[in-house]
Amino acid sequence: MIAGTPEPVAGTPDPPQAGLWNIANALTLLRIALVPFFVWLFFLDGTGWRLAAFAVFAVASITDKIDGDIARARGLVTDFGKIADPIADKALTGAALISLSVMGELWWWVTAAILVREIGITGMRFVVIRHGVIPASKGGKLKTTLQVFAIGFYILPGPLDYLRWATMAAALIVTVVTGVDYVVQAWRMRRTSGGAS
C-alpha cells in the first residue's frame, strides 16, 4: 500500500450510485413531454402561434444543456440518462424537422438524411449496449447545437432564409460526419469486447 494512503475501513459501504429518479432525468423526460405540445402549437395558424411554438422548442432545447450540467455537477450521470437524453433530443428535433417538411418549409431530403442518421445511431447504441454505452461526443454535441439553431431559425417567422440555409447546411454536414464517427466507435467497442470474451 502507498504510504500516507488511508486503509479502507472494513464494512464501509461503497459510495452511493446515482438513482434512476433524479432531477437530470426528470428534465430529460420533460423534454420528451414537450414534443407533442410543440407540434400542436406549430400547426396552429398565425404568427403568434409560431412564436409560441418557437418558445416551447427553445425551452425544451435549453433543458438539454441544463440536465447535462446538473448530472455532471451532482454526480447524477446514469446509463438511463446516457440513453434517454439523446432519444429526447432526437424526438424533439425529429418532430420539428418533419413538421417543417410537412409545411413545405424544409426539403424532405434534408429531413430524411438527418433522421436516418439519428435513428440509425440510436438503434446502433442499443445493439452494442451489452458491450458498453457510447456517450455523446463533442462532435455529437456540436451537431445537436447546430441542429437546434438551424431548426429555430426555420421556426421563427421573418426573412431569415440565408441564415436558415447556412446553419442547416452546417448541421447536415456535422450530422453525417459524427454519424460515421459513432459507427467507427461502435465497431471498435464490439471488436474489443469480442476479443476479450
Whether the CB-CB separation of 98 and 111 falls below 8 Å is answered with yes
Residue 170 CA to residue 159 CA, distance in Å, equals 19
Contact 124, 85 (CB under 8 A): no
Question: What pLDDT score does 102 carry?
Answer: 97
Q: 160: helix, coil or strand?
A: coil
The pLDDT, as a whole number, for residue 95 is 96
- pTM for the predicted model, two decimal places: 0.76
For the domain covering 23-191, report its CATH number: 1.20.120.1760
Grouped pLDDT means (10 residues each) for the chain, 197 residues: 44 49 77 94 95 96 76 62 76 95 96 92 71 66 90 93 95 92 76 59
pLDDT of residue 29: 85
Indicate left, alpha or beta for 191 from its phi (over 0: left) and psi (-120 to 50: alpha). Answer: alpha
What is the Cα 99 distance to its own chain's centre? 18
For the chain, the residue count is: 197
Break the chain into its structural domains and give their ranges: 23-191
Question: Residue for cell digits 437546434?
Answer: 148
Amino acid (one-letter) located at 173: I
- Residue identified by cell 445493439 is 127
Q: End-to-end CA distance of the chain, in Å?
A: 31
Of 98, 75, 71, the C-alpha closest to 154 is: 98
Q: Are 182 and 140 in contact (CB under 8 A)?
A: yes
Can you state the angle between helices 79-102 and 47-73, rounded to 10 degrees? Answer: 160
Angle at 26 between CA 68 and CA 90, to 5 degrees: 65
- Whether 149 and 165 have beta carbons less than 8 Å apart is answered as no
Beta carbons within 8 Å of 147's beta carbon, 6+ residues apart: 93, 114, 171, 175
Output the DSSP codes for 181-192.
Answer: HHHHHHHHHHHH
